[in-house]
Structure formats: structure tokens, C-alpha cells
Structure 1
């Protein structure tokens, strides 16, 4: 399973799930070692297909860092934190998450729009 790290130590993602707000954006930055790049995207696509079918899902896009970066970033829009938390906590999603290699590091954080 990928290692989950917190971008903001004052508000880890699991604490953010308690905030009742929406719509929200999940920005999840992954560090993917070069030797894992070929297996990362198929695993991610399988998770993405599952998430797309969940209530409250709006959209998602995966981005890759430029200049040889080992970073990839998923930007997903959800109707609410509740919908995202339900999908993330589902046993099926957790089984898929366990398939990611241990040396991939994930930095998820939830945002809400406040301005243009």
C-alpha cells in the first residue's frame, strides 16, 4: 500500500473528512519512483473507474510533473466531503489501495474554492 503523508500537519486528510462542505477538490500528489511509473498508472486508472461510479463524484484528472519529475498529481472534484469520505472508506477502494507498492508516497489534501 502506498504510504500516506500529510501536507499540513494541523489538518490531516482524515480530519478534513469531518468538515461538512462542498463542492471540494481532492489534490493528491504522488511520489512515484522511476521503476514504478509503468505500474502506477494502470493501478490508478482502476481506482479512477471505481471512483467515477460513486455518488457525488464530479471529475478527475491526473497530471505529471515536467522536467523528469517523479511527481504525479490527481485533481478530483466531489460534491461534498461526505461523498468523498464514503468512497474513500469503502472496502472495495481500500482493497485497490492495498495494491499500490509501498515505495509510492501519497500526499492527499482536500480544498474548497474560496475565490477566482
Structure 2
């Protein structure tokens, strides 16, 4: 069963979902239990395929830590917080959480592009 942690105690993921914004990027880092990395990838794939069927997921990419790391980071762009919230709020998605091996912890957080003059744009 997937458990959730917070990277920023001042801004919880559930509170972020209440703000109307879009597009938004969810960056979710998973810590896989030792020896269960393949099971985490399989559960994540199942989640990603479900999210893609929603029609509101713009892009998704999974990253894996190197050198024996047990960390995986999902970067997914959604049309809006409303669309993400709707996908996360279904009984089908809730059933996916049980597919993760015991001890898996996820740290989701929502972001929007941020312009830094001379380095990157905010579009």
C-alpha cells in the first residue's frame, strides 16, 4: 500500500489541489522498499495508464535514480488542478494505491513553470 509524505510541511499536496491553476506539473518522488523496485515500477505503470485514459494528462515521464538508488520520480503535466483532482478522486484510482508494495512512500507536490529572467521563460 502506498503511503504519502510531505516535502513542504507548510503546503500540503491536498491543499495545492484546491487552488484553480493550469497547466500544473506534479512531481512525485517514490521511495521503493529494498528489493521491490520492479513492483513499484509495475504499480506506477498501472497508475500512469489509468491517468492517460482520463484524457487530461498532457505528458508523463518516470525517472530512476542511478547507482543502485531506490528513488523514482514521476513528472506529469496536467491541464489543470481540477482535472488532476478528478482523476485522483475516483474509486478506481484509490484501488491502485493497494498495488504498491508495503513500505513504498510517495512525496507528491504540484508546480507551475516559473520565469527567471535571462534563464528560463514561464510560458
Q: Scaled by the length of structure 1, what TM-score is found?
A: 0.95
Runs (5+) with no aligned partner, structure 2: none
Cα distance in 1 for residues equivalent to 2:82 and 2:63: 25
RMSD: 1.0
Runs (5+) with no aligned partner, structure 1: none
Q: Scaled by the length of structure 2, what TM-score is found?
A: 0.90
Superposed structure 1 runs of 4+ greater than 3 Å apart = none
Judge which range, 33-42 or 67-76, deviates more.
Answer: 33-42
Displacement of 1:102: 2.5
Cα distance in 2 for residues equivalent to 1:70 and 1:16: 27
Query: In structure 2, what is the equivalent of residue 61 of structure 1?
Result: 61
Displacement of 1:55: 3.5
Cα distance in 2 for residues equivalent to 1:99 and 1:105: 13
User: 3-state DSSP class of the match of 2:92?
Assistant: helix
Cα distance in 1 for residues equivalent to 2:8 and 2:34: 26
> Looking at CA atoms only, which structure, 1 or 2, has the larger radius of gyration?
2
Cα distance in 1 for residues equivalent to 2:41 and 2:22: 28
